[in-house]
Amino acid sequence: MGLLQLLKSKNIPKENVDENSLESNTSLADGLVYAVTYRDEISSIFLYIDGKNDILLGDRWHRVSSLCFHSNRLLDGGYKPAQSYPKGFVIETIPGEDIVSRENIVFSLCSHNGTLYRGGVDGVYEVFSGKKVASRSTWVTTLCSHKGVLYDAGSYFGVFDTFRNKKISKKRITELCSHGDSLYGLHEIFGLFGGWAVFDISKNKKKTMSNEPVISLGSYEGRLYCGTVGYLKVYAEGIVDDKIFLLSSSRTGIVTALCSVPPEFIREVKHSYYSEFNPIELQQTNPEEFIEYFRVNKEKKKVEILNKLFHHSAVNESVIAWLNKNERALMRKASFLK
């Protein structure tokens, strides 16, 4: 099912928007995509906006264990438990089509030097050729490309430089993430004072601890994001400086995967999403979302939108203020075409 079909029933919430905040909120930078898996092993994938107005990209009838941006496409990998043997999937998130279907579990995906790799039950494989590039004693739950090197970790002790088969850490790491200059890992500590620790593997230094289960890690806007039950924990310099409760928290779900995406992908998603709505109704109900929709269009389309708007008297004041500040030339063109 395509993005537009998935979004047809989505309602736009009414809210008051501070016109002074519109400029900063609508700038396009690298974005964050996350997957939530619920108790029934059904998953949903979202483009993060603010935790409340996140855009649904797709639903899956299986557990999504990994997200990966490869060759200008967002991919999601996962598996569906079966009575005999689990089945693995690699799906192009939009439009939700299988690109590879495997009998083996897909625990993790990683794009490295132009090739897509997956972590399976006994090693690391090239996704499309099926070639095994590294053998491991058990599950490879995470892969990460960091500073030109592919690393793997999982249900075995140690983090490996995959192709050199060299162990760079002895810890049992369930998730890896390239963040800034360092390679980070998620390590579960057992015992009375146990919990989930985020380690800077490059420096062999513990950065933070959590007594709540942490499943996934992601790097976004210079901060480290940790996916847990119903919300994201955001760390800056090892300190929790924010908790982002997600729209999916009305159902008990765990954030099982995080992935950064480039501005071009965000632009494409938002353009498809907002094009579902009448621009006149959109700017009246939610000025911020109207501006997101307006910005991603080309000049000719922008003039058409302005003409439609100004044939009606009920143009939101916040939208007018933003247009007068940022689109004066287009405003003049639109006024001439009335």
CA distances from 64 to 83, 93, 263 (A): 19, 11, 23
Rg (the chain; Cα; Å): 22
Average pLDDT of the chain is: 79
**Cis? peptide before 279, omega within 30° of 0:** no
Whole-number percent of the chain with pLDDT over 90: 35
10 Å Cβ neighbour count for 81? Answer: 11
Tokens of 198: 């985020």
User: Which domains, and CATH codes, for the chain?
Assistant: 1-29+264-338 (no CATH), 31-261 (2.120.10.80)
**Element (H or E) spanning 264, and its range?**
helix 263-274
The pLDDT tens digits for 13-47 are 333 334 343 333 334 458 899 999 887 788 999 99
pLDDT at 281: 77
Distance CA 102, CA 87 (A): 6
Query: pLDDT tier at 77 (50, 70, 90 boundaries)?
Result: very high
Q: How far apart are CA 125 and CA 200, in angstroms?
A: 26
Give the model's pLDDT for residue 16. 38
Instruction: Report yes or no: 314 and 287 within 8 Å, Cβ to Cβ.
Output: no
Classify 51 as helix, strand or coil.
coil
Per-residue confidence band for 252, with pLDDT thresholds at 50, 70 and 90:
low
- Give the pLDDT band (50/70/90) at residue 283: confident
Q: What is the Cα–Cα distance from 79 to 83, expressed in whole angstroms? A: 13
Band of pLDDT at residue 248, cut at 50, 70 and 90: very low
Structure tokens at 263: 């501005």
| Contact present, 300 and 333 (Cβ < 8 Å) | no
pLDDT at position 100 = 76
Distance CA(55)–CA(33), nearest Å, equals 9
81-85, 259-263, 326-330: which is most confident: 259-263
Which tens digit of pLDDT belongs to each residue from 192-204?
Answer: 455 788 889 988 8
Bridge-partner residues for 144, per DSSP? Answer: 151
> For residues 156, 157, 160 and 162, what is the CA-based torsion angle, rounded to 10 degrees?
-10
Q: Distance between CA atoms of 153 and 143, rounded to whole angstroms?
A: 7
Instruction: Tell how many helices (H) and how many strands (E) occur in the chain.
Output: 8, 24
> Do residues 50 and 289 lie in contact, with contact meaning Cβ atoms separated by under 8 Å?
no
